[in-house]
Amino acid sequence: MTQEKRKRRSQLSYGKLDKDGFIHRSWMKAQGYPDHVFDGRPVIGICNTWSEITPCNSGLRELADYVKRGIWEAGGLPLEFPVTSLGETQMRPTAMLFRNLLSMDVEESIRGNPIDGVVLLGGCDKTTPGQLMGAASVNLPTIVVSSGPMLNGKFRGQDIGSGTDVWKFSEDVRAGRMSMDDFIAAESGMSRSRGVCMTMGTASTVSNLVEALGLCLPYNGSLPAVDARRQALAHMTGREIVRMVEDDIRLSDIVTKDSMLNAIRVNAAVGGSTNTVMHLLALSGRLGLDLTLEDFDSESRDIPLLVDLMPSGRYLMEDYHYAGGLPAVMKKMAAHLSLDAQTVTGESIGERLEHAQCFNDTVIRDVTDPVQENSGIWVLRGNLCPQGAIIKPNAATPELLTHTGRAVVFESIEDYKARIDAPELDVDEHCILVLKGCGPKGYPGMPEVGNMALPKKLLEQGVRDMLRLSDARMSGTAFGSVILHVAPEASAGGPLAVVRNGDLIELNGPERTLNLQISDAELEERLNAWRSEVREPTYTRGYAKLYVDTVLQADQGADLDFLQGASGDAVTRESH
Protein backbone atom coordinates (compact mmCIF):
# COMPACT_ATOMS: atom_id res chain seq x y z
CA MET A 1 0.00 0.00 0.00
CA THR A 2 1.46 3.36 -1.01
CA GLN A 3 1.39 6.38 1.25
CA GLU A 4 -0.83 8.12 -1.31
CA LYS A 5 -3.39 5.32 -1.26
CA ARG A 6 -3.56 5.39 2.54
CA LYS A 7 -4.77 8.99 2.32
CA ARG A 8 -7.95 8.04 0.50
CA ARG A 9 -10.99 8.37 2.73
CA SER A 10 -12.00 4.78 1.88
CA GLN A 11 -8.74 3.67 3.47
CA LEU A 12 -9.82 5.16 6.79
CA SER A 13 -12.15 2.15 6.86
CA TYR A 14 -10.66 -0.53 4.60
CA GLY A 15 -6.99 0.27 5.14
CA LYS A 16 -6.86 -0.31 8.90
CA LEU A 17 -5.18 -3.48 10.19
CA ASP A 18 -7.14 -3.57 13.44
CA LYS A 19 -10.59 -4.44 14.77
CA ASP A 20 -12.26 -1.57 12.92
CA GLY A 21 -10.62 -2.53 9.60
CA PHE A 22 -11.64 -6.17 10.13
CA ILE A 23 -15.25 -5.13 10.66
CA HIS A 24 -15.36 -2.85 7.59
CA ARG A 25 -13.76 -5.45 5.29
CA SER A 26 -15.24 -8.67 6.65
CA TRP A 27 -18.87 -7.72 6.25
CA MET A 28 -18.20 -6.48 2.69
CA LYS A 29 -16.61 -9.85 1.90
CA ALA A 30 -20.04 -11.39 2.54
CA GLN A 31 -20.81 -10.17 -0.99
CA GLY A 32 -17.97 -12.19 -2.49
CA TYR A 33 -15.25 -9.56 -2.71
CA PRO A 34 -11.70 -10.99 -2.56
CA ASP A 35 -8.97 -9.49 -0.35
CA HIS A 36 -7.22 -7.53 -3.08
CA VAL A 37 -10.13 -5.18 -3.87
CA PHE A 38 -9.46 -3.46 -0.53
CA ASP A 39 -5.87 -2.70 -1.53
CA GLY A 40 -6.33 1.06 -1.60
CA ARG A 41 -7.91 1.41 -5.02
CA PRO A 42 -10.50 4.20 -5.43
CA VAL A 43 -13.85 3.17 -4.01
CA ILE A 44 -16.63 4.70 -6.08
CA GLY A 45 -20.18 5.03 -4.84
CA ILE A 46 -22.94 4.77 -7.43
CA CYS A 47 -25.80 6.76 -5.97
CA ASN A 48 -28.89 5.37 -7.67
CA THR A 49 -32.42 6.78 -7.75
CA TRP A 50 -33.71 3.74 -9.64
CA SER A 51 -37.26 2.84 -8.72
CA GLU A 52 -40.21 1.14 -10.35
CA ILE A 53 -42.42 3.98 -9.14
CA THR A 54 -40.14 6.54 -10.73
CA PRO A 55 -40.72 5.31 -14.28
CA CYS A 56 -38.40 7.93 -15.77
CA ASN A 57 -35.53 6.37 -13.79
CA SER A 58 -36.50 2.75 -14.40
CA GLY A 59 -33.49 2.15 -16.64
CA LEU A 60 -30.95 3.23 -14.05
CA ARG A 61 -30.56 -0.16 -12.37
CA GLU A 62 -29.27 -1.60 -15.64
CA LEU A 63 -27.28 1.53 -16.50
CA ALA A 64 -25.44 1.23 -13.18
CA ASP A 65 -23.95 -2.07 -14.42
CA TYR A 66 -22.31 -0.24 -17.32
CA VAL A 67 -20.89 2.35 -14.91
CA LYS A 68 -19.46 -0.53 -12.88
CA ARG A 69 -17.77 -2.01 -15.94
CA GLY A 70 -15.92 1.25 -16.46
CA ILE A 71 -14.95 1.56 -12.80
CA TRP A 72 -13.55 -1.99 -12.67
CA GLU A 73 -11.74 -1.44 -15.94
CA ALA A 74 -10.05 1.70 -14.59
CA GLY A 75 -8.97 -0.06 -11.40
CA GLY A 76 -11.66 1.14 -8.98
CA LEU A 77 -14.13 -0.66 -6.73
CA PRO A 78 -17.77 0.21 -7.57
CA LEU A 79 -20.36 0.08 -4.79
CA GLU A 80 -23.93 0.92 -5.74
CA PHE A 81 -26.34 2.28 -3.15
CA PRO A 82 -29.98 3.36 -3.31
CA VAL A 83 -31.35 6.70 -2.23
CA THR A 84 -34.86 8.12 -2.06
CA SER A 85 -36.43 8.25 -5.49
CA LEU A 86 -38.94 10.90 -6.53
CA GLY A 87 -41.35 10.12 -9.35
CA GLU A 88 -42.76 13.40 -10.58
CA THR A 89 -45.94 11.87 -11.95
CA GLN A 90 -46.53 9.54 -9.00
CA MET A 91 -45.75 11.29 -5.71
CA ARG A 92 -48.32 13.22 -3.75
CA PRO A 93 -48.83 15.94 -2.78
CA THR A 94 -45.88 16.94 -4.99
CA ALA A 95 -42.39 15.53 -5.61
CA MET A 96 -40.86 18.94 -4.90
CA LEU A 97 -41.79 18.57 -1.22
CA PHE A 98 -39.22 15.75 -1.05
CA ARG A 99 -36.33 17.20 -3.11
CA ASN A 100 -34.65 18.48 0.04
CA LEU A 101 -35.28 15.16 1.82
CA LEU A 102 -33.52 13.37 -1.05
CA SER A 103 -30.65 15.84 -0.75
CA MET A 104 -30.24 14.95 2.94
CA ASP A 105 -30.33 11.24 2.13
CA VAL A 106 -27.67 11.71 -0.56
CA GLU A 107 -25.46 13.93 1.59
CA GLU A 108 -25.43 11.60 4.59
CA SER A 109 -25.12 8.44 2.47
CA ILE A 110 -22.05 9.82 0.71
CA ARG A 111 -20.40 11.23 3.82
CA GLY A 112 -21.15 8.29 6.07
CA ASN A 113 -19.80 5.62 3.73
CA PRO A 114 -16.19 4.77 2.85
CA ILE A 115 -16.20 6.09 -0.70
CA ASP A 116 -13.75 8.35 -2.53
CA GLY A 117 -15.92 9.54 -5.39
CA VAL A 118 -19.53 9.29 -6.50
CA VAL A 119 -21.50 8.77 -9.69
CA LEU A 120 -25.00 10.24 -9.47
CA LEU A 121 -27.66 8.32 -11.41
CA GLY A 122 -30.78 10.44 -11.74
CA GLY A 123 -33.25 11.66 -14.28
CA CYS A 124 -36.78 12.53 -13.27
CA ASP A 125 -37.29 16.20 -12.44
CA LYS A 126 -36.35 16.39 -8.75
CA THR A 127 -33.92 13.49 -8.59
CA THR A 128 -30.88 15.11 -10.19
CA PRO A 129 -31.28 18.46 -8.36
CA GLY A 130 -31.69 16.69 -5.00
CA GLN A 131 -28.64 14.53 -5.71
CA LEU A 132 -26.52 17.50 -6.75
CA MET A 133 -27.49 19.50 -3.67
CA GLY A 134 -26.58 16.64 -1.34
CA ALA A 135 -23.35 15.84 -3.17
CA ALA A 136 -22.35 19.52 -3.13
CA SER A 137 -22.58 19.61 0.66
CA VAL A 138 -19.99 16.81 0.82
CA ASN A 139 -17.90 17.83 -2.21
CA LEU A 140 -16.22 14.59 -3.25
CA PRO A 141 -15.21 13.99 -6.88
CA THR A 142 -18.66 13.75 -8.50
CA ILE A 143 -19.99 12.96 -11.96
CA VAL A 144 -23.51 12.49 -13.34
CA VAL A 145 -25.14 9.92 -15.61
CA SER A 146 -28.72 10.80 -16.51
CA SER A 147 -31.59 8.50 -17.50
CA GLY A 148 -31.83 10.08 -20.93
CA PRO A 149 -35.05 11.03 -22.70
CA MET A 150 -37.78 8.66 -23.89
CA LEU A 151 -38.23 8.05 -27.60
CA ASN A 152 -40.40 10.68 -29.30
CA GLY A 153 -44.10 10.29 -28.55
CA LYS A 154 -46.23 9.12 -31.49
CA PHE A 155 -50.01 9.27 -31.88
CA ARG A 156 -52.07 8.95 -35.05
CA GLY A 157 -49.19 9.86 -37.34
CA GLN A 158 -47.95 12.81 -35.32
CA ASP A 159 -45.17 13.42 -32.84
CA ILE A 160 -46.51 14.22 -29.39
CA GLY A 161 -44.53 15.57 -26.47
CA SER A 162 -44.52 14.49 -22.82
CA GLY A 163 -46.55 16.86 -20.72
CA THR A 164 -46.90 19.52 -23.40
CA ASP A 165 -49.53 17.52 -25.30
CA VAL A 166 -51.19 16.39 -22.07
CA TRP A 167 -52.19 20.00 -21.39
CA LYS A 168 -53.38 20.41 -24.98
CA PHE A 169 -55.34 17.14 -25.03
CA SER A 170 -56.88 17.89 -21.66
CA GLU A 171 -58.15 21.28 -22.84
CA ASP A 172 -59.36 19.71 -26.11
CA VAL A 173 -61.45 17.21 -24.10
CA ARG A 174 -62.87 20.00 -21.94
CA ALA A 175 -63.68 22.05 -25.03
CA GLY A 176 -65.29 19.04 -26.77
CA ARG A 177 -62.65 18.73 -29.50
CA MET A 178 -61.29 15.31 -28.43
CA SER A 179 -63.08 12.14 -27.35
CA MET A 180 -62.26 10.35 -24.10
CA ASP A 181 -61.36 7.20 -26.09
CA ASP A 182 -58.73 9.12 -28.06
CA PHE A 183 -57.49 10.74 -24.86
CA ILE A 184 -56.88 7.31 -23.26
CA ALA A 185 -55.31 5.93 -26.47
CA ALA A 186 -52.80 8.79 -26.51
CA GLU A 187 -51.38 7.70 -23.13
CA SER A 188 -49.48 4.74 -24.60
CA GLY A 189 -48.34 6.70 -27.62
CA MET A 190 -46.87 9.40 -25.45
CA SER A 191 -44.67 7.18 -23.25
CA ARG A 192 -43.20 4.57 -25.64
CA SER A 193 -39.97 3.76 -23.82
CA ARG A 194 -38.29 4.24 -20.49
CA GLY A 195 -36.53 7.54 -19.93
CA VAL A 196 -37.45 11.09 -18.96
CA CYS A 197 -39.96 13.37 -20.66
CA MET A 198 -38.81 13.94 -24.24
CA THR A 199 -39.79 17.60 -24.36
CA MET A 200 -37.40 20.25 -23.04
CA GLY A 201 -39.16 19.88 -19.70
CA THR A 202 -37.47 20.07 -16.34
CA ALA A 203 -35.65 16.72 -16.52
CA SER A 204 -34.12 17.31 -19.95
CA THR A 205 -33.35 20.91 -19.06
CA VAL A 206 -31.56 19.80 -15.89
CA SER A 207 -29.55 17.13 -17.69
CA ASN A 208 -28.56 19.71 -20.31
CA LEU A 209 -27.54 22.16 -17.59
CA VAL A 210 -25.49 19.42 -15.91
CA GLU A 211 -23.73 19.06 -19.25
CA ALA A 212 -23.34 22.84 -19.55
CA LEU A 213 -21.82 22.87 -16.05
CA GLY A 214 -19.28 20.28 -17.22
CA LEU A 215 -20.41 17.69 -14.66
CA CYS A 216 -20.88 14.79 -17.09
CA LEU A 217 -19.60 13.46 -20.39
CA PRO A 218 -20.73 15.15 -23.63
CA TYR A 219 -24.20 14.18 -24.93
CA ASN A 220 -25.38 12.97 -21.52
CA GLY A 221 -28.13 15.58 -21.83
CA SER A 222 -29.62 14.26 -25.05
CA LEU A 223 -28.77 10.62 -25.84
CA PRO A 224 -32.07 8.68 -25.81
CA ALA A 225 -32.49 6.42 -22.77
CA VAL A 226 -32.65 3.29 -24.91
CA ASP A 227 -29.77 4.15 -27.26
CA ALA A 228 -26.85 1.74 -26.75
CA ARG A 229 -24.54 4.75 -26.81
CA ARG A 230 -25.93 5.78 -23.41
CA GLN A 231 -24.67 2.46 -22.04
CA ALA A 232 -21.27 3.22 -23.54
CA LEU A 233 -21.42 6.71 -22.00
CA ALA A 234 -22.15 5.11 -18.61
CA HIS A 235 -19.15 2.80 -19.09
CA MET A 236 -16.87 5.73 -19.96
CA THR A 237 -18.22 7.71 -16.99
CA GLY A 238 -17.10 4.86 -14.71
CA ARG A 239 -13.59 5.19 -16.09
CA GLU A 240 -13.68 8.97 -15.72
CA ILE A 241 -14.67 9.03 -12.03
CA VAL A 242 -11.69 6.85 -11.14
CA ARG A 243 -9.38 9.33 -12.84
CA MET A 244 -11.16 12.22 -11.07
CA VAL A 245 -10.47 10.58 -7.71
CA GLU A 246 -6.84 10.03 -8.64
CA ASP A 247 -6.54 13.70 -9.67
CA ASP A 248 -8.72 14.88 -6.75
CA ILE A 249 -11.11 16.88 -8.96
CA ARG A 250 -13.97 17.88 -6.66
CA LEU A 251 -17.51 18.97 -7.47
CA SER A 252 -16.68 22.53 -6.41
CA ASP A 253 -13.83 22.60 -8.96
CA ILE A 254 -16.42 22.17 -11.70
CA VAL A 255 -19.48 24.03 -10.37
CA THR A 256 -18.32 27.64 -10.01
CA LYS A 257 -19.99 31.01 -10.48
CA ASP A 258 -18.72 31.06 -14.08
CA SER A 259 -20.11 27.62 -14.89
CA MET A 260 -23.42 28.55 -13.20
CA LEU A 261 -23.70 31.64 -15.41
CA ASN A 262 -22.95 29.43 -18.43
CA ALA A 263 -25.81 27.17 -17.32
CA ILE A 264 -28.21 30.14 -17.05
CA ARG A 265 -27.31 31.27 -20.58
CA VAL A 266 -27.69 27.74 -21.93
CA ASN A 267 -31.06 27.48 -20.20
CA ALA A 268 -32.18 30.48 -22.25
CA ALA A 269 -30.82 29.10 -25.54
CA VAL A 270 -32.55 25.74 -25.13
CA GLY A 271 -35.83 27.27 -23.90
CA GLY A 272 -35.39 25.49 -20.59
CA SER A 273 -37.73 25.02 -17.68
CA THR A 274 -38.50 27.71 -15.10
CA ASN A 275 -37.87 25.06 -12.42
CA THR A 276 -34.14 25.31 -13.00
CA VAL A 277 -34.24 28.72 -11.31
CA MET A 278 -35.10 27.02 -8.04
CA HIS A 279 -32.62 24.20 -8.48
CA LEU A 280 -29.61 26.30 -9.48
CA LEU A 281 -30.27 28.75 -6.63
CA ALA A 282 -30.50 25.90 -4.13
CA LEU A 283 -27.32 24.28 -5.48
CA SER A 284 -25.40 27.55 -5.35
CA GLY A 285 -26.60 27.99 -1.75
CA ARG A 286 -24.91 24.69 -0.87
CA LEU A 287 -21.66 25.82 -2.50
CA GLY A 288 -21.70 29.39 -1.18
CA LEU A 289 -21.79 30.91 -4.66
CA ASP A 290 -23.33 34.37 -4.83
CA LEU A 291 -25.88 33.53 -7.51
CA THR A 292 -29.05 35.67 -7.32
CA LEU A 293 -32.49 35.61 -8.88
CA GLU A 294 -31.51 38.69 -10.90
CA ASP A 295 -28.70 36.73 -12.59
CA PHE A 296 -31.32 34.68 -14.43
CA ASP A 297 -32.66 37.82 -16.07
CA SER A 298 -29.46 39.78 -16.64
CA GLU A 299 -27.47 36.80 -17.94
CA SER A 300 -30.14 35.65 -20.37
CA ARG A 301 -31.21 39.04 -21.77
CA ASP A 302 -29.08 38.82 -24.92
CA ILE A 303 -29.46 35.10 -25.47
CA PRO A 304 -31.58 34.02 -28.44
CA LEU A 305 -33.75 30.91 -28.35
CA LEU A 306 -31.81 28.48 -30.54
CA VAL A 307 -33.54 25.17 -29.89
CA ASP A 308 -36.91 24.57 -31.52
CA LEU A 309 -38.21 22.05 -28.99
CA MET A 310 -41.53 21.71 -27.18
CA PRO A 311 -42.84 23.37 -25.07
CA SER A 312 -41.35 26.54 -26.63
CA GLY A 313 -41.12 25.09 -30.15
CA ARG A 314 -41.94 22.11 -32.36
CA TYR A 315 -39.48 19.23 -32.04
CA LEU A 316 -38.55 16.64 -29.41
CA MET A 317 -35.43 15.32 -27.69
CA GLU A 318 -34.65 12.59 -30.22
CA ASP A 319 -34.57 15.25 -32.95
CA TYR A 320 -32.39 17.39 -30.71
CA HIS A 321 -29.84 14.64 -30.15
CA TYR A 322 -29.63 13.72 -33.83
CA ALA A 323 -29.14 17.44 -34.60
CA GLY A 324 -26.02 17.55 -32.44
CA GLY A 325 -27.35 18.01 -28.89
CA LEU A 326 -25.93 20.47 -26.42
CA PRO A 327 -22.39 20.61 -27.84
CA ALA A 328 -23.89 21.96 -31.09
CA VAL A 329 -25.94 24.55 -29.16
CA MET A 330 -23.00 25.67 -27.06
CA LYS A 331 -20.74 25.95 -30.09
CA LYS A 332 -23.27 28.23 -31.79
CA MET A 333 -23.54 30.45 -28.71
CA ALA A 334 -19.87 30.23 -27.74
CA ALA A 335 -19.53 34.02 -27.80
CA HIS A 336 -21.88 34.15 -24.79
CA LEU A 337 -20.04 31.55 -22.70
CA SER A 338 -17.07 31.42 -20.34
CA LEU A 339 -15.04 28.96 -22.38
CA ASP A 340 -12.39 28.53 -19.69
CA ALA A 341 -14.83 26.81 -17.33
CA GLN A 342 -13.57 23.32 -16.47
CA THR A 343 -15.29 19.99 -17.05
CA VAL A 344 -14.97 16.58 -15.40
CA THR A 345 -12.70 15.32 -18.18
CA GLY A 346 -10.11 17.99 -17.49
CA GLU A 347 -10.93 19.77 -20.74
CA SER A 348 -12.27 23.30 -20.68
CA ILE A 349 -15.72 23.95 -22.14
CA GLY A 350 -13.99 25.63 -25.07
CA GLU A 351 -11.85 22.56 -25.76
CA ARG A 352 -14.92 20.35 -25.55
CA LEU A 353 -16.70 22.40 -28.21
CA GLU A 354 -13.90 22.15 -30.77
CA HIS A 355 -15.30 18.88 -32.11
CA ALA A 356 -18.98 19.78 -31.85
CA GLN A 357 -21.08 19.80 -35.01
CA CYS A 358 -24.67 20.67 -35.89
CA PHE A 359 -26.46 18.33 -38.28
CA ASN A 360 -29.84 20.05 -38.46
CA ASP A 361 -30.08 23.84 -38.44
CA THR A 362 -33.87 23.68 -38.26
CA VAL A 363 -33.88 22.01 -34.84
CA ILE A 364 -30.80 23.83 -33.52
CA ARG A 365 -30.78 27.25 -35.12
CA ASP A 366 -27.92 29.60 -35.82
CA VAL A 367 -27.71 32.78 -33.75
CA THR A 368 -28.43 34.71 -36.96
CA ASP A 369 -31.69 32.78 -37.46
CA PRO A 370 -33.03 32.05 -33.98
CA VAL A 371 -36.45 30.72 -33.00
CA GLN A 372 -36.81 33.96 -31.02
CA GLU A 373 -34.48 36.93 -30.61
CA ASN A 374 -34.67 36.93 -26.82
CA SER A 375 -35.25 34.03 -24.52
CA GLY A 376 -34.58 33.25 -20.89
CA ILE A 377 -36.43 34.16 -17.75
CA TRP A 378 -37.79 37.56 -16.81
CA VAL A 379 -37.50 38.45 -13.12
CA LEU A 380 -40.28 40.78 -11.95
CA ARG A 381 -40.35 43.16 -9.00
CA GLY A 382 -43.09 45.34 -7.53
CA ASN A 383 -45.43 45.71 -4.59
CA LEU A 384 -46.97 42.31 -5.37
CA CYS A 385 -43.64 40.45 -5.30
CA PRO A 386 -41.05 42.25 -3.13
CA GLN A 387 -38.75 39.20 -3.31
CA GLY A 388 -39.41 38.61 -6.98
CA ALA A 389 -41.48 36.56 -9.39
CA ILE A 390 -40.66 35.08 -12.78
CA ILE A 391 -42.21 34.63 -16.20
CA LYS A 392 -40.93 32.68 -19.21
CA PRO A 393 -41.58 35.07 -22.11
CA ASN A 394 -41.04 32.55 -24.90
CA ALA A 395 -43.85 30.40 -23.49
CA ALA A 396 -46.22 33.39 -23.23
CA THR A 397 -48.51 35.30 -25.61
CA PRO A 398 -46.50 38.46 -26.49
CA GLU A 399 -49.52 40.79 -26.11
CA LEU A 400 -50.09 39.60 -22.54
CA LEU A 401 -46.55 40.50 -21.44
CA THR A 402 -47.80 44.07 -20.96
CA HIS A 403 -51.26 43.83 -19.47
CA THR A 404 -53.50 45.23 -16.78
CA GLY A 405 -56.42 43.10 -15.70
CA ARG A 406 -59.00 42.43 -13.02
CA ALA A 407 -58.01 39.77 -10.49
CA VAL A 408 -60.12 36.62 -10.23
CA VAL A 409 -58.85 35.15 -6.98
CA PHE A 410 -58.67 31.54 -5.83
CA GLU A 411 -57.61 31.11 -2.19
CA SER A 412 -56.29 27.55 -2.72
CA ILE A 413 -55.95 24.93 -5.44
CA GLU A 414 -59.09 23.25 -4.07
CA ASP A 415 -60.99 26.54 -4.38
CA TYR A 416 -59.73 26.84 -7.98
CA LYS A 417 -60.81 23.30 -8.88
CA ALA A 418 -64.24 23.82 -7.31
CA ARG A 419 -65.04 27.06 -9.13
CA ILE A 420 -63.01 27.38 -12.36
CA ASP A 421 -65.69 25.81 -14.56
CA ALA A 422 -68.69 27.25 -12.73
CA PRO A 423 -70.94 29.02 -15.25
CA GLU A 424 -71.45 31.87 -12.78
CA LEU A 425 -67.71 32.60 -12.39
CA ASP A 426 -67.28 36.31 -13.16
CA VAL A 427 -64.37 36.12 -15.61
CA ASP A 428 -63.44 37.17 -19.15
CA GLU A 429 -60.26 36.79 -21.20
CA HIS A 430 -58.87 40.12 -19.96
CA CYS A 431 -58.93 39.02 -16.31
CA ILE A 432 -55.91 37.71 -14.42
CA LEU A 433 -56.36 34.36 -12.67
CA VAL A 434 -54.73 34.59 -9.23
CA LEU A 435 -53.94 31.47 -7.18
CA LYS A 436 -52.75 31.56 -3.55
CA GLY A 437 -51.54 28.96 -1.08
CA CYS A 438 -49.26 27.05 -3.48
CA GLY A 439 -45.84 28.28 -2.39
CA PRO A 440 -43.20 26.27 -0.51
CA LYS A 441 -44.91 26.59 2.89
CA GLY A 442 -48.50 26.96 1.76
CA TYR A 443 -49.11 23.77 -0.19
CA PRO A 444 -46.54 22.62 1.11
CA GLY A 445 -43.86 21.90 -1.49
CA MET A 446 -44.72 24.43 -4.22
CA PRO A 447 -46.52 22.23 -6.75
CA GLU A 448 -46.61 22.63 -10.52
CA VAL A 449 -50.07 24.12 -10.72
CA GLY A 450 -49.22 27.66 -11.84
CA ASN A 451 -50.31 26.98 -15.42
CA MET A 452 -53.96 26.84 -14.34
CA ALA A 453 -56.28 25.50 -17.03
CA LEU A 454 -58.56 28.24 -18.33
CA PRO A 455 -62.26 28.45 -17.44
CA LYS A 456 -64.27 26.04 -19.59
CA LYS A 457 -66.65 28.72 -20.77
CA LEU A 458 -63.73 30.79 -22.12
CA LEU A 459 -62.17 27.74 -23.81
CA GLU A 460 -65.50 27.15 -25.55
CA GLN A 461 -65.35 30.74 -26.79
CA GLY A 462 -61.94 30.02 -28.33
CA VAL A 463 -59.78 31.75 -25.70
CA ARG A 464 -56.37 30.01 -25.65
CA ASP A 465 -54.32 32.04 -23.15
CA MET A 466 -54.83 34.35 -20.20
CA LEU A 467 -52.46 35.95 -17.74
CA ARG A 468 -52.15 33.75 -14.66
CA LEU A 469 -50.32 34.52 -11.42
CA SER A 470 -49.40 32.45 -8.37
CA ASP A 471 -46.80 31.46 -5.81
CA ALA A 472 -46.66 28.01 -7.43
CA ARG A 473 -44.27 26.54 -10.01
CA MET A 474 -45.24 25.13 -13.38
CA SER A 475 -44.17 22.01 -15.19
CA GLY A 476 -41.22 22.45 -17.49
CA THR A 477 -43.39 20.93 -20.20
CA ALA A 478 -46.08 23.60 -19.80
CA PHE A 479 -46.65 26.86 -21.64
CA GLY A 480 -48.75 30.00 -21.39
CA SER A 481 -48.62 33.52 -19.95
CA VAL A 482 -47.90 32.45 -16.42
CA ILE A 483 -46.30 34.46 -13.62
CA LEU A 484 -44.72 32.06 -11.13
CA HIS A 485 -42.76 31.87 -7.87
CA VAL A 486 -44.29 35.06 -6.40
CA ALA A 487 -42.29 35.76 -3.24
CA PRO A 488 -42.94 36.02 -0.42
CA GLU A 489 -45.70 33.48 -0.97
CA ALA A 490 -49.22 34.10 0.32
CA SER A 491 -48.84 31.70 3.26
CA ALA A 492 -45.72 33.55 4.41
CA GLY A 493 -47.65 36.83 4.49
CA GLY A 494 -46.56 38.16 1.12
CA PRO A 495 -48.78 40.80 -0.55
CA LEU A 496 -50.28 38.01 -2.68
CA ALA A 497 -52.15 36.97 0.48
CA VAL A 498 -54.29 40.12 0.40
CA VAL A 499 -55.18 40.36 -3.29
CA ARG A 500 -58.97 40.52 -3.62
CA ASN A 501 -61.40 39.79 -6.40
CA GLY A 502 -61.69 42.84 -8.62
CA ASP A 503 -58.29 44.37 -7.74
CA LEU A 504 -56.37 45.60 -10.76
CA ILE A 505 -52.97 44.02 -11.36
CA GLU A 506 -50.46 45.51 -13.79
CA LEU A 507 -47.71 43.50 -15.50
CA ASN A 508 -45.14 45.50 -17.44
CA GLY A 509 -42.86 42.77 -18.76
CA PRO A 510 -40.39 44.98 -20.63
CA GLU A 511 -39.97 47.06 -17.42
CA ARG A 512 -40.00 43.87 -15.30
CA THR A 513 -42.66 45.20 -12.91
CA LEU A 514 -45.66 43.53 -11.30
CA ASN A 515 -47.90 45.73 -9.18
CA LEU A 516 -51.20 45.59 -7.36
CA GLN A 517 -52.92 48.89 -8.09
CA ILE A 518 -53.82 49.90 -4.55
CA SER A 519 -52.19 52.54 -2.34
CA ASP A 520 -49.31 51.70 -0.01
CA ALA A 521 -51.53 52.59 2.95
CA GLU A 522 -54.29 50.20 1.87
CA LEU A 523 -51.79 47.42 1.20
CA GLU A 524 -50.32 47.86 4.68
CA GLU A 525 -53.76 47.90 6.25
CA ARG A 526 -54.72 44.65 4.51
CA LEU A 527 -51.41 43.01 5.50
CA ASN A 528 -51.84 44.03 9.15
CA ALA A 529 -55.30 42.49 9.16
CA TRP A 530 -53.91 39.27 7.62
CA ARG A 531 -51.15 39.11 10.25
CA SER A 532 -53.62 39.47 13.10
CA GLU A 533 -55.59 36.38 12.03
CA VAL A 534 -54.84 33.22 14.03
CA ARG A 535 -53.96 30.15 11.90
CA GLU A 536 -53.63 26.59 13.15
CA PRO A 537 -50.55 24.79 11.84
CA THR A 538 -51.48 22.30 9.12
CA TYR A 539 -48.65 19.91 9.93
CA THR A 540 -47.64 19.10 13.49
CA ARG A 541 -45.17 16.24 12.97
CA GLY A 542 -42.81 14.48 10.62
CA TYR A 543 -40.88 15.69 7.60
CA ALA A 544 -43.72 17.95 6.42
CA LYS A 545 -43.52 19.93 9.69
CA LEU A 546 -39.73 20.23 9.40
CA TYR A 547 -40.17 21.39 5.82
CA VAL A 548 -42.85 23.99 6.56
CA ASP A 549 -40.94 25.32 9.58
CA THR A 550 -37.63 25.75 7.77
CA VAL A 551 -38.18 26.09 4.02
CA LEU A 552 -36.83 29.22 2.36
CA GLN A 553 -38.75 31.21 -0.21
CA ALA A 554 -38.52 30.69 -3.97
CA ASP A 555 -35.92 33.42 -4.47
CA GLN A 556 -33.52 31.28 -2.40
CA GLY A 557 -34.35 28.03 -4.16
CA ALA A 558 -36.71 26.69 -1.46
CA ASP A 559 -33.94 24.81 0.30
CA LEU A 560 -34.31 24.20 4.03
CA ASP A 561 -32.54 26.98 5.91
CA PHE A 562 -30.27 24.64 7.89
CA LEU A 563 -29.15 22.78 4.77
CA GLN A 564 -27.52 25.75 3.08
CA GLY A 565 -23.76 25.48 2.95
CA ALA A 566 -21.59 22.38 3.22
CA SER A 567 -20.10 20.13 5.90
CA GLY A 568 -17.41 18.54 3.76
CA ASP A 569 -16.50 14.86 3.66
CA ALA A 570 -14.73 14.39 7.00
CA VAL A 571 -16.09 11.97 9.60
CA THR A 572 -13.88 11.94 12.65
CA ARG A 573 -15.52 9.32 14.84
CA GLU A 574 -15.73 5.54 14.58
CA SER A 575 -18.42 3.57 16.41
CA HIS A 576 -16.96 0.06 16.39
Tell me if 555 contacts ligand FES by CB under 6 A.
no
Of the pair 205, 262, the CB lying nearest ligand FES is at: 205
Of the pair 25, 126, the CB lying nearest ligand FES is at: 126
Closest CA to 530 of 488, 502, 477, 485: 488
The answer to whether 203 and 196 are in contact (CB under 8 A) is yes
> Strand pairing partners for 348?
342
Tell me if 478 contacts ligand FES by CB under 6 A.
no
Tell me if 165 contacts ligand FES by CB under 6 A.
no
Tell me if 63 contacts ligand FES by CB under 6 A.
no
Tell me if 86 contacts ligand FES by CB under 6 A.
no
The residue range among 195-203, 291-299, 385-393, 450-458 that interacts with ligand FES, by the rule CB under 6 A, is 195-203
Of the pair 205, 491, the CB lying nearest ligand FES is at: 205
Q: How many CB atoms lie within 10 A of CB 389?
A: 28
Tell me if 166 contacts ligand FES by CB under 6 A.
no
Tell me if 56 contacts ligand FES by CB under 6 A.
yes
Q: What is the secondary structure of 202-265 as a DSSP string?
A: HHHHHHHHHHHHT-S-TTTTTS-TT-HHHHHHHHHHHHHHHHHHHHT--HHHHS-HHHHHHHHH
Of the pair 125, 489, the CB lying nearest ligand FES is at: 125
Of the pair 276, 564, the CB lying nearest ligand FES is at: 276
Tell me if 201 contacts ligand FES by CB under 6 A.
yes
Q: Per residue, what are the HEC states of 333-345?
A: CHHHCCCCCECCC
Dist CA 371 CA 376 (whole Å) = 13
Tell me if 223 contacts ligand FES by CB under 6 A.
no
CB of 299 to ligand FES, least distance (A): 25
DSSP 562: G
The answer to whether 258 and 341 are in contact (CB under 8 A) is yes
* CA distances to 67, 119, 146, 472, 571 from 63, in Å: 7, 11, 9, 34, 30
Those residues with Cβ within 8 angstroms of residue 210's Cβ, 6 or more apart along the chain or in another chain: 128, 132, 144, 146, 216, 220, 221
Of the pair 206, 548, the CB lying nearest ligand FES is at: 206
Tell me if 88 contacts ligand FES by CB under 6 A.
yes
The answer to whether 145 and 63 are in contact (CB under 8 A) is yes
The residue range among 38-46, 197-205, 394-402, 506-514 that interacts with ligand FES, by the rule CB under 6 A, is 197-205
Q: Where in 368-397 is the site for ligand FES (CB under 6 A)?
A: none
Q: In what order do the strands lie in the sheet with 389-391?
A: 378-380, 389-391, 482-484, 467-470, 432-435, 402-410, 504-508, 513-516
Of the pair 45, 163, the CB lying nearest ligand FES is at: 163
Of the pair 204, 394, the CB lying nearest ligand FES is at: 204
Q: Where in 103-162 is the site for ligand FES (CB under 6 A)?
A: 124-125, 162
Tell me if 356 contacts ligand FES by CB under 6 A.
no
Number of residues forming the site for ligand FES (CB under 6 A)? 10
Dist CA 134 CA 32 (whole Å) = 30
The residue range among 180-188, 196-204, 306-314, 408-416 that interacts with ligand FES, by the rule CB under 6 A, is 196-204
| Site of interaction with ligand FES (CB under 6 A) | 56, 88-89, 124-125, 162, 196-197, 201, 203
